[in-house]
Chain A
Amino acid sequence: MRHIPMRFIAAGALIIGFLGGLALPLPGRGNATTGDAITVYMQPPTLGWGSSSRLTCGRHTTCLSPYATGSALDWDDNNTGYGNPVYYRSYNFTSNTGGIIQVARGLPLQTQTAQDGCAIMSVWVAEGTSGPLRAIPKYDHVNVYNAASFPIWGRAYPQTQYTNRRVGSTVDDRALCSTTGSHVHEDYYPHSASYTQNTAYPTAQEYHGTSRTYANNNVNNYTRRFQWTEGR
């Protein structure tokens, strides 16, 4: 065996040691930090999947004259009674081309009961299988119907992957809330995801009627869009 000087062995060990150390994962990192770009396009929440949901008020805060512009949209559920289904609906995209993957998970929560104002439910949308909260879609005049958490699957464009899950029921909250008839006031609470709303919808000043329809399974009819980078 050829004699290798000890200083070469030491230098080699030093380099290998550093490389090994850099290659090892840091402890406590938790959820995978893939850097994938995730985009969630929210869809109209009323009526069955594939129906034309009825917009009754354009972008507003409260749909009352003089119709102050806000981010919410009012969706009629085509029914005169209460207790009608409300859905968490979204098309979900990832920059990861590896097929269908879980990009997020949703948790329905009652955030306010009708006893002191409007009945409000929201869905906490958190990253991947165990990551942080990213987006909070919000539904007024609604009580939670199914409180269980659910996976939100996505895939890379131009393939599409959607989530259509019943999460709530419309409720009669007119005693202490400014509302008329069963409908959903669909909005969001700002949180960490970047937010964009679809400018194709009219403002409440422009439209507060009863018959403008939007197919609830057409990604172009998204009401609002949440985007984030996984692990950042």
Chain B
Amino acid sequence: MKRIALTLALLGVLAGVGFGIAKLVGEVRGTEAQRPTATDFGTIEARRATETAQPRFVGELLGIFIGPTEGTWPKDLQDEASQRLAGGCVDVPRVEAKSLDFPRPIALPKEYSPEDLVPARSCGGQVAGLTWGYTVSGVEGIPGHVQISRSVGKARTYDVASDRVSIEHFGGRDAIFIRPVTPDGLAQIAYVLFPEPFGVTGVQTFNLSEADTTVVAQAVAEASK
């Protein structure tokens, strides 16, 4: 009986050793490292639900009005936007929107790839805006995107929680900063709005961290000075 017990104990020890060695071999082979990161939809949805339950921002900052729908804007801003669209919108060469262009190039880090430039837009015979797009590897290596615009009009339809909205300084300029819901920025949009004499310089980032959005905002501020 004593010998059987001794044998079982020995077996247990050796099984453990075997498991440990097998695990070690697996790690050396890089089994875990090669597996892509799991994308946690549950966390993304829970964050979104928490944000949606918060009070929404409606109001004016730095001369720019923000509300979740156009119906929340002051009447004069609603009428102005309606009239612009009623006149019809068409593409025009970017050179015709030179008055909206940045005085300096946008100097983003080299990992941001510029998309092909698209024509400017003109509504009701008046230049309405110019845009720039960039792609970048974002949070968790999932594609991120940056969209920049210089457009007429001083109102925006953003449906965002009030606690995400603040006034910050980027590159020596005041701007409205609508932070991502969480600092990591996973699957979220953040906004930066600079007031301009003609309207607004706007920045949208998707799937970028708050820190990376700040880098973009600083580059845009420098380009606009």
Query: A residues engaging B (CB < 8 A)?
Result: 9-10, 13-14, 16-22, 24, 26-31, 33, 61-62, 64, 105, 107, 109-113, 115-117, 124, 126, 130-133, 136, 147-149, 172, 174-178, 189-192, 231-232
Contacts and interface: CB of A to CB of B under 8 A. Distances in A.
B128 A175 contact: yes
B41 A105 contact: yes
A116 B204 contact: yes
Contacts of A147: 45, 48
B44 interface: yes
B38 interface: yes
Interface of B is mostly: mixed
B173 interface: no
B26 to A, nearest CB: 5
A28 B37 CA distance: 12
A130 B35 CA distance: 13
Question: What class of interface size applies to chain B in its complex with A?
Answer: 35 or more
A14 B7 CA distance: 12
Contacts of A13: 7, 10-11, 13-15
Given A21-B20, A30-B38, A116-B203, A9 B143 contact: no
Contacts of B13: 13, 17
Interface stretch (B113-121, B161-169, B209-217): B113-121
B91 interface: yes
Nearest to B49: A147
B45 A148 contact: yes
B38 A115 contact: no
B158 A113 contact: yes
A149 B40 CA distance: 11
A28 B116 CA distance: 42
B15 A21 contact: yes
Interface stretch (B55-63, B104-112, B145-153): B145-153
A169 to B, nearest CB: 14
A191 B207 CA distance: 14
Given A112-B147, A191-B142, A117 B133 contact: yes
A24 B22 contact: yes
Given A136-B143, A174-B85, A113 B204 contact: yes
14 contacts: A9-B10, A17-B11, A18-B18, A64-B119, A113-B158, A116-B203, A124-B142, A133-B142, A148-B45, A172-B85, A175-B129, A178-B119, A189-B143, A232-B34
A156 B89 CA distance: 48
